[in-house]
Amino acid sequence: MRPADEHYINAIRHNDGTGLQQLYQEFLPRISAFIRRNGGSDADAKDIFQDALIVLFKKVQDTDFQLTSGFYTLLYGICRNLWGNRLQKKSGNEVSIPEDYKYTDEANLSQLLEQQEEEQVFWDAFRELGQDCQQLLQWFFAKVKMAEIAERMEYSSVGYAKKRKFQCKEQLIQRVKADARYSELMNK
């Protein structure tokens, strides 16, 4: 473990005010930039950062805790998970990443970060769709029967609801593929 990383872990473990202040000065601006880029505010970033420190505090109290990645990688991963969970809760979608995820395995963390990037590309593209497509697809993803979707959306027939679902899915796929991050993810 690098000395700076060990310093931050010990600051969290022992609730060291000076060390925690250094941690805030070093990392909060970077986390704030990430949160703002993803639809949040500085206040959201402070909340997420604080929540991440609580998660970290609980993790470092475990005698088996070992930092297998850089400290910032771990902190960023936790903040990203917490922010993703908050966005999903706000949108009414099921939260897919548990907040008590074990952040100690670097390979799993890298895989999780990549998976979250893929999900972010999907949800960014989803939010670009029209309101009717978003609603239709949300019900479809929730496994609502097409007959009920047709009724809820006030479509003339189930056949039209199916056609509209296909069109909305195609729009979503096109938007995902048009995102520069999609190309990067596919080339890894």
- Give the residue carrying structure tokens 């048009």: 178
> What are the phi and psi torsion angles at 18 (to 5°)?
-65, -45
pLDDT of residue 101: 47
Let me know: does 35 contact 44? Beta carbons within 8 Å. Answer: yes
**Residue pLDDT, tens place only, 145-176:** 999 999 999 999 999 999 999 999 999 999 98
Let me know: does 136 contact 167? Beta carbons within 8 Å. Answer: no
Rounded to the nearest integer, the mean pLDDT of the chain is 82
Region 14-20: what's the mean pLDDT? 89
Secondary structure element (H or E) that encloses residue 49, with its range: helix 42-61
Residue type present at position 103: Y
Look at the pTM and tell me if it is higher than 0.75: no
Cα angle at 111 between 42 and 36, to 5 degrees? Answer: 15
**Residue pLDDT, tens place only, 94-103:** 444 444 444 4
- The CATH fold assigned to 1-103 is Rna Polymerase Sigma Factor; Chain: A (1.10.1740)
C-alpha to C-alpha distance for 112 and 98, rounded to whole angstroms: 11
Ranges for all domains in the chain classified under CATH 1.10.1740? 1-103
C-alpha to C-alpha distance for 88 and 4, rounded to whole angstroms: 34
pLDDT of residue 77: 86
